[in-house]
Structure 1
Amino acid sequence: KLGGRLRLAVCGGAPLSAEVAKTFIGLGLNLIQGYGLTETSPIVSGNPEDDNDPASVGVPMPGIEVKIGPDDELLTRSPSVMLGYWNNPEATQAMIDGEGWLHTGDKARIENGHIYITGRLKEIIVLSNGEKIPPADMEMAISLDPMVEQALVVGEGKPYLSAIVVLDSEALREEAEAQGFDLKDPEVLNSKPMCRWMLERITPLLKDFPGYAKLRAVTLLNQPWNIDDGTMTPTMKLKRKIILEKHKDHIEKMYEGH
């Protein structure tokens, strides 16, 4: 039996997989997802206990307005929105418009009063054919594979999507041995057979995404990104630009000939 005296738990700071939330709910722990920013002091929304949709970040708190702006950006307005950034009027004006709406930088949709975050405006990948993909949802889906510890989808300006995938070391040892891969050979990790095998594992996890949002290549790593090497923030979010620069050679190889 899990717990017994814990009524609920609240999750925030980064997107939570609906599957993870459902697992905890199935164990008897009501895991509620919320949303907010430092600039909103900080809560914007949360799931009610009696209307908990694990795929959403809930409904706006009392006194808080939300709406969808241009490019599907989530906007919010309330007395809890900051007055501004200290001694930085330019940054304040870029964040809060003349009507008092704070631009969150997050893409979202609102259905039946619930807010669903679909990605970050600055992180949207635009393929060479103009198709736009928010990578965060794909990365979350890829990470549902127990072999995957971290994932970063790439493809800006490219003809198709690829991913850099960090494998869980323990799961890698078990699965690689079962598949006949010799991890003592440093060339095995990114060999064509192993990359093909990993791509075949990941592909079913992306079945609900549009046809253009499919992976055609992967690079495999066995060293996770972390705060100390500068690839993650203190809140454990990936620093996308730094990771892309760090692995630019790997990325180029995934697009050779295209």
Structure 2
Amino acid sequence: MPNRMEWVLFDVAAMSLGLVVVPLYPHDRPEAMVYILKDAGVKLLLVEDERQLQSLKPHLAQLRQLKRVVVLQGHCSESCGDCVAAGDWLPQGKQTWLRVAGATDPHGLATLVYTSGTTGPPKGVMLSHRNLLSNASAALARIRAYTDDRFLSFLPLSHALERTAGCYLPMMAGCEVAFSRGIPYLSEDLAVMQPTVLISVPRIFERIHGEVQAKLQHAPEWKVRLFQHTVESGWDHFEHQQGRRGLHLKGLLWPLVKPLVAHKLLKKLGGRLRLAVSGGAALDPHISRFFLGLGLPLVQGYGLTETAPVVSVNTPGDNEPSSVGQPLPGVQVRIDAQGELCVKGASVMSGYWHNPRATRRVIDQEGWYHTGDKGELDAAGHIKVVGRLKEILVTATGRKIPPGDVEGAILADPLFAQVLVVGEGYPYLAALVVLNSEIAQGVTLDEMALVARMNDRLHRFPRYAEIMRAATVAPWTVENGLLTPTLKVKRTAVIQQYQDVIAQLYVGH
């Protein structure tokens, strides 16, 4: 079900009884949900309403271990089998609602959280009570939260970051949590709820940045210059506050330009944010600088589902945008001989559900979890994630190129909403692109113009990393199976769906 109070009540009540909770993304495809339900051996399923249950109905016969379906709102039709409305299922009258089944083993299994499946079938990450609570406690020790704080919960609670940092952490601190109606309503909910803390994935900041850039393209020249001066002034002010430079003339202008320009954008984010956290994927430094330059206290963190999930995070007083911060208290990190970032500590999972082979591949005999990310540590202990070990394209000429870095650079141009770079085994790189429909209306869209525009963003890359051909395609969404519920591109699925288009980009080569 979508984020709502009953999601949290069900979660806490079930785990207090020693049961294992398996969260599902409410907008995921039925086939993906069924895979998880079968793999986890789910016995009880809670859904928001019968409409959601109907999408699963054709697959229910496969779920032999499923004993009960509880529908929160409305009633169940007779065709749904072992289905009951929550109002009929829950005890009637006055009850002692919270009943703890003895002392729960801190090392006992609390939840199975399935990976997003960007490179293969999702794997069930086994997280204990200790994993979850130690991580929330350590994150709270790094970044304080207060009883007068209000979090806005809009990332799905089935996402490990939202569940730990946006649910358990504010519980520990006694904060208020408001539940958004979902991403389509986020702008309105921000204005109405006026949160003080916002936890997000980079895609949300990318969208806001793209919307602003689209409006600036049609704004008068003086307004564009004022906006640019505001961002530059705010950035100088931010760097001075961090103790990394003296206060230049631009920084001195910040108190004057902030109310003229920056306040208007911050007002759209509710006007009360004292902290915004970006995690779940890398945030483009250009976009980070954009928001910091407008006075948004934006910090970046790093983590994985397998680490429950937070490994590190910057703080407002020690905010190095090119890094993902220092490790949380009690979390150890190291860079091994291959440059891989490894993590050890109380928040690291016990393994993958019914998959000991996959577990052995990522957790070594000393208990270090191998993240698959290439990392660096600076003198102050800040972590810098510099790429993925396996996400490398090797062209026919033997050149090795990290596609994620190239895609991130191209996405800095607001014309491009989504990009996937291909070229494995071919003599040059090509790209599948989804265009921002609002901006694309006034732009020349032939292939040569698109390629030139993409390569304008790739000056810092070697020449062999330039894009030679490109094709525009329809948007990639969760519904069409090309995005994960956390809005990450499923590379394998996109390449498979557009294999004929990709082949055309290499005709004659």
Normalised-by-shorter TM-score class:
0.7 to 0.9
Counterpart of 1:257 in structure 2: which amino acid? G
The structural deviation recorded for 1:59 is: 1.6
> Which of residues 244, 249, 256 is equivalent to 2:495?
244
Please give the per-residue CA displacement for 1:60-98, whole angstroms capped at 9, x wherever unaligned: 112212122354321111121112223332222112001
Q: CA deviation at 1:209?
A: 1.2
- Among candidates 200, 207, 211, match of residue 463 of structure 2: 211
Matches within 5 A, 1:1-258: 1=263, 2-3=266-267, 4-112=271-379, 113-176=381-444, 194-221=446-473, 223-258=474-509
SS of residue in 1 equivalent to 2:351: coil
Q: Which structure's residues are more often strand, by fraction?
A: 1
- Is the alpha carbon distance of 1:71 and 1:157 closer, same or farther for their aligned partners in structure 2, counting shifts above 3 Å? farther
Larger helix percent: 2
Secondary structure at 2:453 match in 1: helix
| Cα distance change of structure 1 residues 224 and 37 upon mapping to structure 2, 3 Å threshold | same
Alpha-carbon contact 1:118-1:134 (below 8 Å) kept: no
Give the SS at the match of 2:489. Answer: coil
CA contact (8 A) 1:64 1:78 kept: yes
Instruction: Please say if residues 162 and 218 of structure 1, whose CA atoms lie closer than 8 Å, have aligned partners that are also in contact.
Output: yes
Q: Work out the CA distance in 1 between the residues paired with 2:277 and 2:294.
A: 15
Hey, what does 1:186 align to over in structure 2? none
Partner residue, 1:185: none
- Taking only aligned residues, the RMSD between alpha carbons, in angstroms, comes to 1.6
* Cα distance in 2, alignment partners of residues 88 and 196 from structure 1: 47
Q: Which runs of 4+ in 1 moved over 4 A?
A: none
1:100, CA displacement in angstroms?
A: 0.9
- Extract unaligned runs of 5+ from structure 2: 1-262
Measured in 2, the distance between the counterparts of 1:9 and 1:83 equals: 30
Once the two structures are superposed, residues 126-178 of structure 1 have per-residue CA deviations (whole angstroms, 9 ceiling, x without a partner) of: 112322211111111111112111000101111111111111112111224xx
Distance 1:247 1:87 in 2: 33
User: Hey, what does 2:156 align to over in structure 1?
Assistant: none
Rounded Cα–Cα distance in structure 1 between residues aligned with 2:396 and 2:332? 37
User: Deviations along 1:8-39, whole A, 9 cap, x unmatched?
Assistant: 11011121111111111111111111011111
How many residue pairs end up in the alignment?
241
Name the amino acid aligned to 1:89. P
CA–CA distance in 2 between the matches of 1:251 and 1:107?
A: 29
The residue aligned with 2:203 is none
The letter of the residue matching 1:22 is R
Paired residue type of 1:30: P
Determine the C-alpha separation between the residues in 1 that align with 2:466 and 2:443. 24
1:76 maps to amino acid: V
Secondary structure of the 2:482 match is: coil
| CA spacing shift, 1:144–1:116, aligned 2, 3 Å | same
Kindly state the Cα deviation for residue 110 of structure 1 after the two structures are TM-superposed: 2.5
Q: Is the 8 A contact 1:133 1:213 kept in 2?
A: yes
Q: Contact (CA 8 Å) 1:131, 1:212: kept in 2 or not?
A: yes
